[in-house]
A and B are shown apart, each in its own frame.
Chain A
Amino acid sequence: MGATLEIRNLHVSINGTPILKGVNLTINQGETHALMGPNGSGKSTLAYALMGHPAYTVDAGQVIFDGEEVLELEADERSRLGLFLAFQYPVAVPGVSVANFLRSAINARRKSQNPEDQGISIPQFRKLLTQKMDLLGIDHKFAGRYLNEGFSGGEKKRNEILQLATLEPRVAILDETDSGLDIDALRIVADGVNKLKGPDLGILVITHYKRMLDYLQPQHIHLMMDGRIVESGGPELAEEVELAGYKPFFEKHGVEATEE
């Protein structure tokens, strides 16, 4: 049986302002979920809070992953437990190459399992990275470039997916991985994610746009408004949002309309 990420009544604030007001969500390894909702509804806050960003304060609630209390862990421990966040705006880290960074990340995993571990050998790592780059159709030169430095929007997102492919998490959150991409770039990124889908990977894709969902075909759709998940359903929910926008949902759930 796969691992489960269970979010129970999660309340999160930033600088004293409550953003998440009781989120409940369960994602099983192997499932693909989509989280939709207007700007400011708290989608990215959920992503950051799940990953342990220090600026986000958890006021109440629980997050359990594979039986472990996630909220007590540092970001690196959450990662090693099998959680992954593909950032909406990944930062550029000059002087640190993609390959060097991924090797450090892999070695940190090995070392946490076995403190005596000497790290992955360079040839073994090169083989692994090459295989992942080939799977995603990424130019091998990518490995030597500095992390996100001078990357186009599409390259940044592909780099996030390459990290996802290499680190093989059990549940991955894709925070607006489709934002800022033209249709061709979006297809490349979505194709990459589709190649990684399978019984070992749970996905929570955060998006405004249905076109990303057309590629990824999530079974579960959740609608977030004002810090809560107000509706959950199947693909038909995404169709409804596409057709009517968020307005009817604001009215239905008595939520003050934010920008769409």
Chain B
Amino acid sequence: MTTTTVSRRAKREIVAPPFQWSAILERAEAAGEPDWIIELRQQAWAIYESMPMPNQRDEAWRRTDYSHINWNSAGHYAIPNGATVEHIPAENRAPLIGDEQGGLIAWVDGKLVHRELNEKITKQGVIFTDLHTAIREHGDLVKKHLFQKALKASEGKFAALHAAAWTHGLFIYVPRNVVVELPLHSIFYSEQTGATLGHVLIVLEEGAQATILHEYLSPEGDNHTSYIGGTELLVGRAANLRYVSLQSWGHNMYEFSHGRGHVSRDGQLDWIVGSMGSKLTKSFMQISLDEQGAWGRMSGMFFADGTQLLDHDTYQTHSAPHTTSDLLFKAALKDEAHSVWRGNIRVMPGAIKTDGFQANRNMLMSDTARADSIPGLEIEADDVRCTHAATVGQMEEEYIFYLMTRGVPRIEAERLFLNGYFWDVLERIPFEDVQNRLLADVDRKLLGMHTAKNK
């Protein structure tokens, strides 16, 4: 008689996507990229090649199994198919406040399809364009910031791949003391199967101020698709950036991304993320408070259903005294959805009198949903105040019952409760229409549960 030991979950081999340096170089040359950009790509590619694919033995990936991704479809550059801006849903293109917006820029499958900027903002010297144009027209500015201070290829396998193979990018530059009154709006839309690797580079000089909404979207599809992204937010001294980033990918999308914000003396970065879509999202986000008086806040709302996995690794890094960071991430999970949040507040030596806070709340709406919440503190300075709070709870019947006793049907009571749950994050998004759009997304997902139940 033989005994066989069967591991509870057979692990698939993790294979690397089929990117090749020759194809990257060919694209870069075809786009007429200057040598210094190609060098940046090549350095990143060398780092990429030197690193193994991350797997569940790595602490940051322990809870995230992406081995089911089909790189045969998700690992080749998506080929733009002549789509125009009209392919992007109209509600996402709508002006953010009344009938005005400062500017709208949009890509489909990595190809720039639309760019408009309010004349007044143009006159203020604001640059609002795609990264390739910026490299051509403002090479020195881009050179100073792209993959320099914030995001580095060495941060991880996907960061390196992104830095080597990026396909398109948004570049926003707000000069010294310029206040952009109207919000700027940018959209990365993916329609074709394959990979897009988008970059966001936003630079606010000293005393500048801007509010920016960036959206990631794709329709539902059958073939695995990937987005390997990078975001760099550079907030100068006493500058103020409010950056709202919303993700509503189709359920066939795998996202691997790295985002970094740096805040200089007395600057403020208010970073809000909302994720509803994707099959799997693995996102690393960091706010670095580099100089005295810097303030940074990260807020997140996540609603996952089906077998979605939304995984966020956040860092609040205090490198200087008298800096403040605040994080509030809220997730709701139904069906067999899974969320992971791993958050770290890091206080570097000498960063005294800092104040760091993080709170992660998770609401499970089914017995099979799961949330992992792992807060962490690494404090290397004295005289700091750092606190964290993490909870995982059910959607309590007590609340639903209370609302129902006033005549509100169950589904409406759950909707009210869930909208209320997300409200403290939603109210940080300064556009009512966008808030309503997100609430409508929440409703749609919630109703999906009830249709499934009634089947």
Contact = CB atoms under 8 A, between A and B. Distances in A.
A96 B420 contact: yes
B408 A53 contact: no
Contact of B423 (A76, A87, A95, A167): A95
A102 B416 CA distance: 11
Nearest to B426: A95
A76 B405 CA distance: 5
Contacts of B120: none
Interface in A41-96: 51-55, 74-76, 78-80, 84-85, 87, 90-91, 93-96
Given A54-B397, A94-B421, A95-B422, A75 B404 contact: yes
Contacts of B417: 93, 96
Interface stretch (A104-112, A179-187, A245-253): A104-112
Contact of B406 (A54, A79, A95): A79
B372 interface: no
Nearest to A84: B405
Contacts of A29: none
A166 to B, nearest CB: 9
| Residue among A90, A94, A102, A163 having the largest count of chain B Cβ atoms under 10 Å | A94
Contacts of A55: 397
Interface string A113-133: 000000000000000000000
B419 A96 contact: yes
B79 to A, nearest CB: 44
Give chain A's interface residue range (CB within 8 Å of chain B).
20 to 34
A142 interface: no
A209 interface: no
B408 A104 contact: yes
B61 to A, nearest CB: 33
A78 B402 CA distance: 13
B420 A167 contact: no
A83 B308 CA distance: 41
Interface residues of B, number: 24
A87 B291 CA distance: 52
A151 interface: no
Nearest to A102: B406
Contact of B407 (A54, A91, A108): A108
Contacts of B335: none
B406 A101 contact: yes
Nearest to B409: A76
Interface in B383-427: 396-399, 401-410, 412-413, 416-417, 419-424
Contacts of B420: 93-96, 146-147
Contacts of B422: 95
Contacts of A109: 407
A80 B407 CA distance: 5
Contacts of B410: 74, 76
Interface string B419-452: 1111110000000000000000000000000000
Contacts of B409: 74, 76, 108
B402 A105 contact: no
A78 B421 CA distance: 26
A61 to B, nearest CB: 20
A37 B396 CA distance: 30
Contacts of A78: 405
A112 B398 CA distance: 23
Contact of A105 (B398, B399, B401, B408): B408
A167 B423 CA distance: 25
B446 to A, nearest CB: 15
Contacts of B401: 53-54, 75
Contacts of B406: 76, 79, 101-102, 105, 108, 163, 167
Given A54-B397, A91-B398, A96 B405 contact: no
B421 A79 contact: no
17 contacts: A54-B401, A79-B404, A79-B407, A87-B402, A91-B398, A91-B399, A91-B402, A93-B402, A95-B419, A95-B421, A95-B424, A96-B423, A100-B416, A105-B407, A108-B408, A146-B420, A167-B407
Given A55-B397, A95-B419, 18 more contacts: A53-B401, A74-B409, A74-B410, A76-B408, A76-B413, A87-B402, A90-B402, A91-B402, A95-B424, A96-B416, A96-B419, A101-B403, A101-B406, A105-B408, A108-B408, A112-B407, A147-B420, A167-B406
Interface of B: 396-399, 401-410, 412-413, 416-417, 419-424
